[in-house]
Amino acid sequence: MQQNYTLKELPEIAKTIIATTTSKILLFNGEMGVGKTTLIKEVVKQLGVTDIANSPTFSLVNEYITDDDQTIYHFDFYRIETEEEALDIGIEEYFYDDNAWCFIEWGNKVENLLPLEFVNINLIANTDNQRTIEIKTP
């Protein structure tokens, strides 16, 4: 799936992601400032989290609980230098928790640690204040 959207359309995009993904492990890809964290915040909200989601750039992972007790892990691997840093926080336990959602920014930095099943969400900034989103499975 590929489509353009504006910030105003973000809630509908988030609902589409939730409804159409085939895995609970989602990689959000795109350049710095394209809106990965903003989109994740909206997906978290649509899943029923009442807390305000923030980027885990310095902590590497944030955990949220939805209204119906689902767990969401939000990772930001921008600042890691080696995959061993991700292993040190127990990334494999997070990824293989079948009941949890995992939202991953900068997943390319841990590509050798990713499970076989995940969904790529690619974001591209357009010149007209829109974003292009492409959702695909490997």
pLDDT tier, 129 (very low <50, low <70, confident <90, very high otherwise):
confident
- List the beta bridge partners of residue 76: 105
Q: pTM score, two decimals?
A: 0.92
- Closest to 125 (Cα-Cα) out of 33, 16, 39, 15: 33
Per-residue model confidence as pLDDT tens digits over 33-51: 999 999 999 999 999 998 8
Percent of the chain with pLDDT over 70: 98
Domain boundaries along the sequence of the chain: 2-136
What is the distance between the alpha carbons of residues 126 and 84, in angstroms, rounded to a whole number? 35
pLDDT at 58: 67
pLDDT at 59: 79
What is the distance between the alpha carbons of residues 57 and 47, in angstroms, rounded to a whole number? 22
Per-residue model confidence as pLDDT tens digits over 47-96: 999 887 777 766 789 999 999 999 999 999 999 999 999 999 999 999 99
- List the beta bridge partners of residue 131: 5, 125
What is the distance between the alpha carbons of residues 80 and 113, in angstroms, rounded to a whole number? 14
CB under 8 Å to 19, separation ≥6 — which residues?
none
Q: What is the CATH number of domain 2-136?
A: 3.40.50.300
pLDDT at 128: 86
Residue 138 has pLDDT above 70, yes or no: no
